[in-house]
Chain A
Amino acid sequence: MVTINIDGKTVEVLEDTTILKAAEQAGVWIPTMCHSEYFEPYGVCRLCSVEVVRGKRSRIVTACNYPVRGGMTVHTNSEKVKWLRKIIMELMVSRWPNVKVVKEIAERLGVEKPRFASLERDEAENACILCGMCVNMCNDVVKAGVLGFAHSGIKREVVLPFDERSDQCIVCGACAHVCPTGHIKVVFEDYRGKKPEFTLGPKTPIYVPTLQAVPRVPVIDAESCIHFKTDGCENCAKVCEPNAIDYDMKDEIVEVDVGQILIATGFDLFDASAMAQYGYGRLDNVYSSLEFESILNSTGPTGGNIVMKNGKEPRAVGIIHCIGSRDINHHAYCSRVCCMYALKFAHLVRDRTKAAIYQFYIDMRAFGKGYEEFYTRLLDEGVTMIRGKAAEIVEGAWNENGDPSLKIRCEDTLIGKFREIPVDMVVLCNAMEPRKDSDTIRRLFSISKSPDGFFLERHPKLDPTSTATDGVYIAGCSQGPKDIPDTVAQASSASARILSLISKGEVEIEPVRAMVQDEFCSGCKICNNMCPYGAIEFVEEKKISHVNEALCKGCGTCVAACPSSAMTGHGFTDEQILAELDGLLI
């Protein structure tokens, strides 16, 4: 540790720290233009010049990269320093008079009117001030090495190689992030004018998956993280005090042996862009229910404020039920939860804004405990209920002045009239539908699906959680649309079924089994290859096949294949089936 004196203040700092850092510790302001904590000091703007006195000698140095030495005295505001800064600022102001950072520092340093007239005067507010921060960021931190300076003197400029779009650029946006004037901007181009599925908020490469994540630790998205593209950056590792960042961790597939499986793979949201009349993905301020849920979330992109794309509060909100459900063109079934969350939306919109609320419904299905009461309460809160499914959403005018808004065209079946209702925001209550990969999952566990595509339970009333495959259970929306209480009930029931089997310690198997009658078996081994479970083994000493009854599932394929009728299927023997045939054909 060494002790130095900055503007009369004494500070104790580690040797070799820069004067700038020491001054920060002492609470002394030194203006900078090209300095950033992200990369090594660059020392190009010369604004941080200070006067260093050691013994009788005094000299001007740049604070950002000059290391402190014991007994040093630093003046940041001496006449010499002031004079130097003034010239630098005057030169900058003369060239970039309208750039915000330049104006701010000039004002603070008392530079009003520059004495010089620049040949390269740039009136733009976001002019490039050649601080080189982007270049340093790209080269030192990101290590992509795309940006660089070209030419010298007044022709100096930041360029890409050969002034062309570079393949080396990983489009990380770090240069734009560090640019003090906004000269470099990140522009998101919409892909064919269609909005990506979720564009409601920024997502960083390192993030906590959900607020309720267990364990609640951040993960790194290797596809967008700079480090995995260029080996650079590592800023998160630098700031992480417990040293918890590990770039070497990899996704791995872990195989676990289990006796029973509970499938709770949930649902997908119906893609409302399939119903072009509602303009989802085409019109602004038309949201799916899940997106609106995210808008309502107090930790969401808008902080829970219900605002439109332009940041203003909507004057009216339309909530349209049954998007893709109860619709023979898409899903015939009722999605069950939408009526209630639509009412919740209306309640929250009423609570947080002054907007008028319109609900467009086919039938209200408030079926659960306390639900009907909530519906009645909502009616008293002044929500306009319109019975009739909206026909389409068009861009229209709010009033005669041509104030832009959306217009919902619908038939109000209760008054028997066609209506056009101007709203600013529309929430679509999308149907729940089976997961896109549900067929793959289904085949993996050899379970069936019901006509709507959700997994099929063994019995709709008596056995709603188990499936046709022993030891495989289903719960929640993978079995059909349901709300949270129903899901919890079904999942609890499934877990209880699983636990009861575990505590019993034994598994009862169906009596339908195959068996070899040893005296008839010729040992041809045809059945050995038939069995998908490997339940048939060949006994070498006796030269006959034998069925392992614990493995056999009783399908009977081997029985049908046995050329000497030595294989019998209990419950479905040849005699039984032939007798059945006889009976059927009398």
Chain B
Amino acid sequence: MAFEPKIIGFLCNWCSYTGADLAGVSRIKSAPNVRILRTMCSGRVDPAFILKAFQLGADGVIVMGCHLGDCHYQEGNYKTVRRLPFLKRLIKDFGIDPRRLRLEWVSASEGDRFAKVVNEMTEEIRQLGPLKLSVHREIQRAIAHQ
């Protein structure tokens, strides 16, 4: 069976989640690989969640928020834009390609952009192949053990 990447999408409630909703309402086709997790603000995305997602078997993580200056909470996405580059450097040391983590701005009116970003990300992860971490083997061993 061909490789289907699992991507976790952290979407902010006000812009990106609404944008994803718009994409759905407008019947814009996009890859089904992004599994959406709603947070109130992209600033709520704790770097630990992203690491946890990789640990639990996500092949990629995409964080989407409002465009800079458009944040519903005034400056939540500025916090995100400062956190994510640090995390990218960190995951590189863990053996995860930094391309597997993405930060994108999608506003509530950009349903087409949401679809575009999702398709791009899916295609990129497909090229990169599944994420293999030693921790995954351990988990699988543990499951088999049970």
Binding site for B on A (CB under 8 A): 442-443, 446, 448-451, 456, 468-469, 512, 530, 532-533, 553-557, 559-561, 569, 572, 574, 577-578, 580-582, 584-585
Near A by CB (< 8 A), chain B positions 69-85 give 69-76, 79, 83
Would you give the shortest CB distance from B73 to chain A, in whole angstroms?
Answer: 4
Minimum CB distance partner of A446 in chain B: B72
Question: Does A585 lie within 8 Å of B72, measured CB to CB?
Answer: no
Task: Determine if B56 is an interface residue (Cβ-Cβ < 8 Å).
Answer: yes
Residue of B15, B18, B52, B108 touching A581 (CB-CB under 8 A): B52
B6 / chain A contacts, CB cutoff of 8 Å: 585
- Alpha-carbon separation in the docked complex, A563 to B128 (Å): 33
Question: Does B49 lie within 8 Å of A577, measured CB to CB?
Answer: yes
- Alpha-carbon separation in the docked complex, A447 to B44 (Å): 19
A581 / chain B contacts, CB cutoff of 8 Å: 8, 37, 49, 52-53, 56
Question: Does B76 lie within 8 Å of A555, measured CB to CB?
Answer: yes
Minimum CB distance partner of B18 in chain A: A448
Task: Determine if B107 is an interface residue (Cβ-Cβ < 8 Å).
Answer: yes
- CB contact under 8 A between A556 and B8, given known A446-B71, A468-B72: no
Which secondary structure characterizes the binding site on chain B? loop
Question: Does A585 lie within 8 Å of B53, measured CB to CB?
Answer: yes
- Alpha-carbon separation in the docked complex, A152 to B87 (Å): 89
Residue of B45, B57, B109 touching A448 (CB-CB under 8 A): B109
- Alpha-carbon separation in the docked complex, A80 to B62 (Å): 104
Near A by CB (< 8 A), chain B positions 5-58 give 6, 8, 14-15, 18, 22, 35, 37, 39-41, 43-49, 52-53, 56-58
Residue of A451, A469, A569 touching B109 (CB-CB under 8 A): A451
Question: Does A556 lie within 8 Å of B44, measured CB to CB?
Answer: yes
Minimum CB distance partner of B66 in chain A: A448
- Alpha-carbon separation in the docked complex, A582 to B6 (Å): 13
Minimum CB distance partner of B45 in chain A: A560
- CB contact under 8 A between A532 and B109, given known A448-B14, A572-B40: no
Near A by CB (< 8 A), chain B positions 96-146 give 107-111
Would you give the shortest CB distance from B88 to chain A, in whole angstroms?
Answer: 16
B58 / chain A contacts, CB cutoff of 8 Å: 585
Question: Does B41 lie within 8 Å of A532, measured CB to CB?
Answer: no
- Alpha-carbon separation in the docked complex, A512 to B72 (Å): 14
Minimum CB distance partner of B77 in chain A: A557
B39 / chain A contacts, CB cutoff of 8 Å: 556, 572, 577
Would you give the shortest CB distance from B12 to chain A, in whole angstroms?
Answer: 9
Would you give the shortest CB distance from A441 to chain B, in whole angstroms?
Answer: 13
A585 / chain B contacts, CB cutoff of 8 Å: 6, 8, 35, 53, 56-58
- Alpha-carbon separation in the docked complex, A135 to B69 (Å): 57
A532 / chain B contacts, CB cutoff of 8 Å: 73-76
Question: Does A448 lie within 8 Å of B107, measured CB to CB?
Answer: yes
Minimum CB distance partner of A531 in chain B: B73
- Alpha-carbon separation in the docked complex, A188 to B6 (Å): 68
Question: Does A530 lie within 8 Å of B79, measured CB to CB?
Answer: yes
B14 / chain A contacts, CB cutoff of 8 Å: 448, 468
The residue among A469, A553, A555, A581 with the most chain B CB atoms within 10 A of its own CB is A555
- Alpha-carbon separation in the docked complex, A442 to B109 (Å): 13
Question: Does B35 lie within 8 Å of A584, measured CB to CB?
Answer: yes
Would you give the shortest CB distance from A471 to chain B, in whole angstroms?
Answer: 13
- Alpha-carbon separation in the docked complex, A532 to B71 (Å): 11
- Alpha-carbon separation in the docked complex, A560 to B57 (Å): 22
Beyond A450-B109, A577-B49, 15 extra complex contacts between A and B, CB < 8 Å: A446-B71, A446-B74, A448-B18, A451-B22, A532-B73, A532-B75, A556-B43, A556-B44, A560-B46, A577-B39, A578-B52, A581-B37, A581-B56, A585-B57, A585-B58
Would you give the shortest CB distance from A141 to chain B, in whole angstroms?
Answer: 51
- CB contact under 8 A between A448 and B41, given known A555-B73, A581-B49, A585-B8: no
